[in-house]
């Protein structure tokens, strides 16, 4: 069984922003969490590869 990745405060902040608005540009996420855009890109890719981010979906209010 795979172990869950360790999430630091930056990862949690990125996830919080993506949960609120998954269309937010990575540049804006980087500014909000005080990281560079490439650092945010790497973190999002790691979160996707490890299964923390399982899907990128839109929720439609009926």
Domain CATH number, residue 23: 1.10.10.10
Asked whether residue 14 is domain-assigned, the answer is yes
pLDDT at residue 2, rounded to an integer: 61
Distance CA 36, CA 2 (A): 29
List, for residues 13-61, the tens digit of each pLDDT value.
Answer: 999 999 999 999 999 999 999 999 999 999 999 999 999 999 888 778 8
Residue 25, in any domain of the structure:
yes
Whether 15 maps to a domain, the answer reads yes
* Residue 3 belongs to a domain: no
Kindly state whether residue 35 falls inside one of the protein's structural domains.
yes
What is the pTM assigned to this prediction?
A: 0.86
Q: Do 44 and 17 contact (CB within 8 A), yes or no?
A: no
Q: Tokens 């949960």 — which residue?
A: 19
Domain hosting residue 15, numbered range = 9-49
**10: buried, middle or exposed (CB in 10 Å: 19+, 13-18, 0-12)?**
middle
Question: Residue 21: its pLDDT value, please?
Answer: 93
55 part of a folded domain: no
As for how many domains the chain has, the answer is 1
pLDDT surpassing 70 at residue 1: no
Task: Write down the pLDDT at residue 33.
Answer: 98
């Amino acid at each position: 069984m795979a172990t869950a990745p360790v999430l630091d405060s930056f990862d949690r902040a990125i996830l919080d922003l993506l949960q609120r608005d998954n269309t937010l540009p990575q540049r804006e996420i980087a500014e909000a969490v005080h990281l560079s855009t490439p650092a945010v890109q790497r973190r999002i890719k790691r979160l996707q590869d490890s299964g923390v981010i399982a899907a990128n979906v839109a929720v439609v209010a009926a």
